[in-house]
Structure 1
Amino acid sequence: MSENEEEYYADERWQNWLDRLRDEDLDPEEEDSARLLLNLQDDVAIAVAKIVTDYQDGDLDEEETLDELAKIRDTVLAEPDIADEDTLMLVDGVQTSLVAVFYSAEQYVADGVADEADVTEYVQAAAGAEDEEDFDRALGLAACAGTRIIDGEDLPMELADDLEYGLVVEWVNGLDSLQSALAQPEVVEEDE
């Protein structure tokens, strides 16, 4: 672990977000609720971006980086203890978006940048795989797009407008958070 980081993303931080969501009367159509969910997603993406940046800077080796990513992934993707079905569904949407963030970072560290296509082509191929119900392949292709974003390529957000709503759109949403986090790795305050 790099000397200046105690912990990239504590389990307690995720639990604080979940506590806050349990206390809110969430309505995804309402701007405050939508912003809260996006802040939750961005907060995790920022932690992932910091780990990847420390890896790029040589502060973490491959094994340490993958360990740190796995710690956050295990925390964030665990089944949340939320009784309200609507809130649980909204958190599940955030978790789904973040799946692509984790897989992209892990693939980037383990295999480097995917180089057979650009971001747009990978996303379109992922959508095609989703249409064929080949979800593992779709996620793999979305992760390839993510490695290119980590490498500095821009994700055109209008890309999602052309896709039928589904997993790939959720993953693109997560990759957009990752792109923002890499550009501006500022911590999202939980009380914003």
Structure 2
Amino acid sequence: MSNPPTEFYSAERWQNWIDRIDDEEIDPEDESSARLLLNLQDDTAIAIAKIVSAYDDGELEGEAALEEIADVRNIVLDEVDIDDEEKLMLVDGVQTSLVCVFFAAEEYVANGPAEEASVSEYLRAAADAEAEEDLDAALGYAAQAGTLVIDGEELDMAVAEDLEYGLVTEWINGLDSLQSAMSDPEVVEEDE
């Protein structure tokens, strides 16, 4: 077994992104602001993709992989210290999108890819559960879809177009970052 990277993600790395968002004028309608938020999300998804890949390649045991995922989740989902309410909401949106990425990665490591349905069927089931206000079930279905994305199945973003905006569409956004990260786990440079 080769040694896995010692650190997949750090609190300092996350904080660097948060500081940038805090320092810059953020306008979600502006392309560079939107890109900054997307890079924040993609950077985290890449860390998760690397953990899952290390697990798949036998460089990390399941237990270690789950611990690494939990470490990243604890960093990213921790309360963010930004005074600007609008920026806080935007970061919260990124955090919300990533919730499903963490659950999907944990589910994948613990139980492998889901086998009962396709990515879009799971996501429709998630949307139905959200409509019935069963958010635990919604997250469960979305995470199942995520295990398939990790396994290489295609997430067709058209599925999100048919859904009412809500948590599931946010999670699909996160899974889209995960899909990109799985196919091209290049590090997003913080100074772009």
| Contact persistence 1:42–1:181 (CA under 8 A) | yes
What does residue range 1-150 of structure 1 map to in structure 2 within 5 Å?
A: 3-150=3-150
What does residue range 153-172 of structure 1 map to in structure 2 within 5 Å?
A: 153-172=153-172
SS across alignment from 1:55:
helix
| Contact persistence 1:22–1:82 (CA under 8 A) | yes
SS across alignment from 2:16:
helix
SS across alignment from 2:81:
coil
**How much has 1:3 moved relative to structure 2?**
1.9
TM-score, structure 2 normalization? 0.98
CA distance in 2, matches of 1:190, 1:79: 21
CA distance in 2, matches of 1:90, 1:169: 15
**How much has 1:2 moved relative to structure 2?**
5.8
| Contact persistence 2:97–2:173 (CA under 8 A) | yes
| Contact persistence 1:2–1:54 (CA under 8 A) | no
| Contact persistence 2:4–2:54 (CA under 8 A) | no
TM-score, structure 1 normalization? 0.98
- What amino acid is aligned across from residue 125 of structure 1 in structure 2? A
| Contact persistence 2:4–2:60 (CA under 8 A) | no
**How much has 1:25 moved relative to structure 2?**
1.1
CA distance in 1, matches of 2:77, 2:60: 23
CA distance in 2, matches of 1:140, 1:115: 14
CA distance in 2, matches of 1:5, 1:65: 12
* Cα deviations by residue, 1:18-44 (Å, 9 ceiling, x for unpaired): 000000111111101000000000000
Percent identity at matched positions?
A: 67
Are residues 2 and 8 of structure 1, via their aligned partners in 2, closer, same or farther at CA, if it must alter by over 3 Å?
farther
CA distance in 2, matches of 1:75, 1:145: 24
| Contact persistence 1:2–1:60 (CA under 8 A) | no
CA distance in 2, matches of 1:2, 1:102: 25
**How much has 1:4 moved relative to structure 2?**
4.7
Structure 2 unmatched ranges of 5 or more? none
SS across alignment from 1:25:
coil
**How much has 1:113 moved relative to structure 2?**
1.1
**How much has 1:6 moved relative to structure 2?**
2.2
- What amino acid is aligned across from residue 156 of structure 2 in structure 1? P
